[in-house]
Amino acid sequence: MATKEREETEDKKDISIKGVSKDIYRRVLNLARDTGKTLGEVTNDAYKTFLATASGARQISKNFVEGATQSMPKYIENIKNLSVDKNDLAEIGHKVAFSNIDTLELAGVDNETFDRYVDSITNVKTLKIDKHLSKAKVLVKCSFVDNITVTQ
């Protein structure tokens, strides 16, 4: 019992805080009077709220950075010949940017898979697409592609 009482008294020592604005101090003091709490209780509540808010903001920032990182495409680049199918894209599980590929074949890739997983196709000499894949959708994501061939 004595240990617990000692911890409580050590936990609630008088503390002097320099630099507190007189206006803020007066407003907190008035709030304490209005709520029937001590100045220390109101101050502790304010600190707890501030710390929880700061922690929450830190978590939101962390989640934002993680989300931004996950939304960035994975690069597949500098390959002479590459054939990628629907299963390959699904296995990667992220948006993909294809770049600097001589011949790129999107074999059996449907419109939904293309929209979900292909971010861009850049600097490709020959692009082969399946006839079921919308050429318009492909064109929107292409730049510096020399030839587009539609296969059966």
Within-domain flag for 3: no
* Claim to verify: residue 35 and residue 102 sit in the same structural domain: no
DSSP of 4-53: HHHHHHHHT-----TT--HHHHHHHHHHHHHHT--HHHHHHHHHHHHHHH
Same domain, 85 and 43: no
> Does residue 140 sit within a domain?
yes
Among 28, 48, 69, where does a domain finish? 69
Residues 11-50: tens digit of each pLDDT: 677 778 888 888 888 888 898 899 898 988 888 888 888 8
Q: The pTM is what? A: 0.58
Which residues constitute the domain of residue 48? Answer: 20-69
Q: Is residue 37 assigned to a domain? A: yes
How do residues 82-137 score in pLDDT, each as one tens digit? 999 999 999 998 899 999 999 999 999 999 999 999 999 999 999 999 999 999 99
Taking the C-alpha atoms of residue 5 and residue 86, their distance in angstroms, rounded to an integer, is 68
Q: For residues 107 and 64, state if they share a domain.
A: no
- pLDDT over 70 at 142, yes or no: yes
Q: Are 104 and 125 in contact (CB under 8 A)?
A: no
